[in-house]
Amino acid sequence: MTGLLSARDLSVTFGNGRQRTAVVRGVSLDLPEKAVFAVLGESGSGKTMLARTLIGLEPPESAVTGRVTFAGAEIRPARAAVRRRLLGSQIGLVSQDPTSSLDAMRTVGAQLREVLRRHEGLDARTRRQEAIRRLEQVHLHRPEEVVRKYPFELSGGMRQRVSIALALCGRPRLLVADEPSSALDAIVGARVVDLIDELRRTTGTSVVFVTHDIGVAARIAHEEVDRVGVMLGGRFVEYGPATAVLARPRHPYTRALLASEPSASVPRGELATVPRELRTAEWGPLQQVGTDHWVASEVTA
């Protein structure tokens, strides 16, 4: 395996015996240092389950097979305690709903100071100063006032910036961002995506970015080193450099997905949709079609 984060033949199933349902099916990927891996797919494609399973946050009732390595060390199969030690220190998580990562009963400053104490061992005075600096880092105005506020006193965009600041407190090497802009309006969401892009460049943090939005995927994964995996039915049907997958897609599902993206330049009329037969077709193993560019071919009877 190569890269900061690697997975081989990762699968997640639910149920018992013959009634087991696969929600992630044989996924392999490599994420280089200081790069973005955008997991792109429609609702129900398995992208969130994949991202959470990579870092050991899959539901306890699920069954997981396959291998995952992080920074050269095998974290799956491994004891859950190994993965828990990485969370917050070397791996940070930003969820779709920022309220899920914030304590409604504590001020923003108290939460930041607690994470800084746990992961960086700073004294009380330094923690107070560092909490304000971390809010400045995510471009929150008047951070000295924000630290005294409770989450319910902040807008959705401000709460998401606070959750990003919390996720980065341990100076993680990997940030997993699960649809971080989808619950926000378009303008605020774009600013959050741009913030994550800026932070990955200034801090060197690698990012797994989950999204259903093609425009967002293109906004965050735009460097030569960045990768995109297009998910359908729990697996990748196209995988490769972002510059190739998003600009020159080779799989018919990827092309249909890109064609369905609303655009002001499209003539008035019905919007393009992904044909049902592409969603229900049986796709074979990934085949290499370019430099680290892989595409699944349709299985014919």
Task: Examine the pLDDT at 81 and tell me if it is beyond 90.
Answer: no
The confidence band for 268, taking pLDDT boundaries of 50, 70 and 90, is: low
Task: Examine the pLDDT at 274 and tell me if it is beyond 90.
Answer: no
pTM of the model: 0.92
Q: pLDDT tens digits for 92-115?
A: 999 998 888 899 999 999 999 999
Q: How many CB atoms lie within 10 A of CB 156?
A: 16
Q: What is the pLDDT of residue 277?
A: 87
Q: pLDDT tens digits for 275-287?
A: 888 888 889 999 9
Residue % of the chain over a pLDDT of 70: 96
Mean pLDDT of 135-148: 96
Domains, the chain? 5-90+172-298 (3.40.50.300), 99-171 (no CATH)
The confidence band for 122, taking pLDDT boundaries of 50, 70 and 90, is: confident
Question: What angle, 0 to 180 degrees and rounded to 10, lies between the N-to-C axes of helices 156-167 and 108-120?
Answer: 10
Q: What is the pLDDT of residue 118?
A: 85
Task: Examine the pLDDT at 193 and tell me if it is beyond 70.
Answer: yes
Task: Examine the pLDDT at 301 and tell me if it is beyond 60.
Answer: no
The region that residue 292 occupies, defined by phi over 0 for left and psi between -120 and 50 for alpha, beta otherwise, is left
Task: Examine the pLDDT at 61 and tell me if it is beyond 80.
Answer: yes
Mean pLDDT of 182-199: 91
Mean pLDDT of 130-156: 96
The confidence band for 120, taking pLDDT boundaries of 50, 70 and 90, is: confident
